[in-house]
Structure 1
Amino acid sequence: MSAVHPFSHSNVGPTLRVIEETLRDVYWCFMHADTLPGHRACFTRALVDDILDYQRSLGMRLQARTDTNGSLPHVVLASDSHAFNLGGDLDLFCRLIRARDREGLLAYASQCVRGVHAFHVGLNANAHTIALIQGDALGGGFEAALSCNTIVAEEGALMGLPEVLFDLFPGMGAYSFLCKRIAPHQAEKLMLEGNVYTSEDMHRMGLVDVLVPQGEGVAAVEEVIRANRRIPHARAAMHRVRQMAQPVTLDELMQITETWVDTALQLGEKSLRTMDRLVRAQVRRGKAAA
């Protein structure tokens, strides 16, 4: 991965594998570390909680530093699974919607929103966040990637926001983050058509920053880090300027996700059966990848 000798950070939950290169100020977070045959590479409650716990821990450590020597921290979100992330936990959604459990659905969605917002604001420590997409990023998985400062994707990965297939919309940051990269009417079209695109297509749209052949994603991330290291103060200042000029606030994301929850609770059995079929397809895909 690099010339230094990184070490794994053990004080994280079982769904997350973390490698900290503290001398270089680079922190790698690999989702789905608990992958087993049939595993669905989605945002389970356990994964969301583990990401939030690590974000808080790392953010506090980075904020507490007194001598940074002009270093710009980099946090990389990646995956140990066949996919980057296939989105929200549809099985959980179905159970909560059928039970009319608004509180439970809102609690899950709110945790997801806190996670993407933390990546968006660099853990409140002015870190530069990078999504490394080496497999499909759909729904909430694509939203998580969009929340990062830089998206590096390998060719052949599929990306998109297919929630409209079950009459829902992506409500955990998609619109807010898309509108920072493309025009609002294009963002709405992407969300309401529900099409899935290749990483090559997304690069042409301006939604993927760096596109590389399969197997070259890590090297591309390292190049992004090297480029930022040449201009650490300018890059850090640009983070602050972006937050002033184009803020995406936690309050904005929370209000949108409440609309998502209320919309989800209106779904009928036909939409829920579509979710059920997608869950079964994810399980089959996980078994095939194993």
Structure 2
Amino acid sequence: MLNQYKHVEVNYLPEMETAVWKIKTEGIPNFTLDGLREFTRFAEDLKIMFTDNSYPLKYLVSCSAHEEVYNLGGDLTFFLNCIKNKDEEGLREYAYLSIDAIYNIYTSFDLSAVSIALVEGNAYGGGFECAMAHDLILSNSKAKFCLPEKKFNLFPGMGAYSLLCRKLNFKTATEILYGGNVYSSKEMFDFGLIDRIEDEKVGIDAVKNYIEKIDRDYNFNHSHFQCLKKVFPLQKKELLEITNIWVDACLKMNISDLRRMELIVNAQNRKLKQTL
């Protein structure tokens, strides 16, 4: 079976031909540099395991170990330190590893499978981008979605532009990118970004319930998402070029911008303490 990881928990459900990978974090539930480095190894292990026909695979599902948070996205404390120290190399490593992760998810890790994000808590920033990289998004009514980067004069640089502008009309995509607003799962469903709101069951039961509903049409669904990616192709080069702009923008942030970023970090830390 797959190796044990610190930041990812993996389970294979043979009766559903489904692999479930769960995001695990210590502290603020975000994507750390160590977590992204580990994700590269996890992605390679996943490809090796499921290239073997001993493990038939139809669905790849991501979810979170946190009940109230899918993922809060970028490691703002790491960003702050890099920006203050003019550490362009550190920012670029983080950005490139993020693109590797997003593109692996977008391409279903080069495996013949449909990817599903199970979002049962807040998906902010890079967490929202991660969810959007999947073929399908299953949510509950409590989940919230947001791209907050404009609040500190930055932009979401790990896939949001590429994914939103392919999935939505330009006006709606721009509204989400510019506004920094928090959206409910109902609003995301109405936009067409969420495929189903599932409140009857939670966790893996919600996934099983959903897959039972769509599995009869697996051949169509799998082919459908392959076709969409041909009609609206997304190359990794595009994602890297955009994230290079993000690195440059980080290094241009002023003291006021960084202060607003620090306020968000402080709010995240307070929220974390309340849950401990």
Letter in 2 for 1:94: L
Count the aligned residue pairs: 275
TM-score using structure 2 length: 0.93
Shift of 1:272: 0.9
- Please tell me whether residue 102 in structure 1 is matched to residue 88 in structure 2: yes
Moved more, 190-199 or 136-145: 190-199
Which of 208, 211, 221 is 2:197 aligned to? 211
Which of 107, 112, 121 is 1:135 aligned to? 121
Shift of 1:182: 0.8
Structure 2: 5+ residue stretches without partners: none
1:76 is aligned to 61
Q: CA RMSD in A?
A: 1.9
- CA distance, structure 2, for counterparts of residue 237 and residue 260 of structure 1: 34
- CA distance, structure 2, for counterparts of residue 185 and residue 204 of structure 1: 14
2:97 is aligned to 111
1:5 is aligned to none
Moved more, 214-223 or 52-61: 214-223
Question: Residues 112, 240 of structure 1: CA spacing in aligned structure 2 closer, same or farther, 3 A cutoff?
Answer: same
* Aligned residue runs from structure 1 range 94-243, under 5 A: 94-213=80-199, 215-216=201-202, 218-243=204-229
- CA distance, structure 1, for counterparts of residue 48 and residue 227 of structure 2: 22
1:11 is aligned to 3
Which of 31, 53, 61 is 1:43 aligned to? 31
Letter in 2 for 1:163: E
Shift of 1:217: 5.2
2:16 is aligned to 24
- CA distance, structure 1, for counterparts of residue 270 and residue 200 of structure 2: 23
Shift of 1:226: 2.5
Q: Is the helix fraction higher in 1 or 2?
A: 2
- CA distance, structure 2, for counterparts of residue 218 and residue 152 of structure 1: 12
2:44 is aligned to 56
Tell me which of the two structures has the higher relative contact order, counting C-alpha pairs closer than 8 angstroms and 6 or more residues apart: 1
Shift of 1:175: 1.2
Q: Judge conservation of contact 2:144–2:184 (CA < 8 Å) in 1.
A: yes
Shift of 1:99: 1.2
Moved more, 128-137 or 233-242: 233-242
Shift of 1:52: 2.5
Q: Judge conservation of contact 1:134–1:214 (CA < 8 Å) in 2.
A: no
Letter in 2 for 1:50: E
Shift of 1:150: 0.7
Shift of 1:184: 2.0
Letter in 2 for 1:130: I
- CA distance, structure 2, for counterparts of residue 102 and residue 45 of structure 1: 14
> What is the DSSP-based 3-state SS (H/G/I as helix, E as strand, rest coil) of the residue aligned with 1:28?
strand
Shift of 1:231: 2.8
TM-score using structure 1 length: 0.88
String of CA shifts for 1:36-92, please: whole Å, max 9, x gaps. Answer: xxx101111122223222222112222343x77xx5521111111231101100000
1:6 is aligned to none
